[in-house]
Amino acid sequence: MKKIVDNIEGKVNKIISLYKSASDKNELLLSEKSHMKKLISEKDKEIKKLEEKIKLLRITKSVNSEESENIKESRKKINEYVREIDKCVALLNK
C-alpha cells in the first residue's frame, strides 16, 4: 500500500513540476506577445510616417515637373517676344 501511495505522490509531484514549468513558459510567452504587439504598433506608426513622406515627395515631384514645364514655356514665349522686338527694331533702323 505504501508503494502505491509513494507512486501516486511521485506522479503528483511530477504533474506539479510540469504545471509550474508550463506556467512559467506561458508567462514568458505572454510577455513576449506584449512586447511584439508594442513593436508592431511602433512599426505601423513608422510605416504611416513613411507613407506620408512618399506622398509628399510625389506631390513635390509633380509640382516641380509642372513648374519646369511652365518655365520652359515661359522662356519660349519670352524668346519669341525678344525676336519680334528685334525685328521691329531692325525695321525702325531702316
Residues 54-74 pLDDT 10s: 988 887 776 666 666 777 777
Q: What are the residue ranges spanned by the domains of the chain?
A: 1-69
State how far Cα 45 lies from the chain centre: 7
The tens digit of pLDDT for each residue in 29-57 reads: 999 999 999 999 999 999 999 999 998 88
Model pTM?
Answer: 0.54
| 48 phi/psi in degrees, rounded to 5 | -60, -40
1 in helix, strand or coil? coil
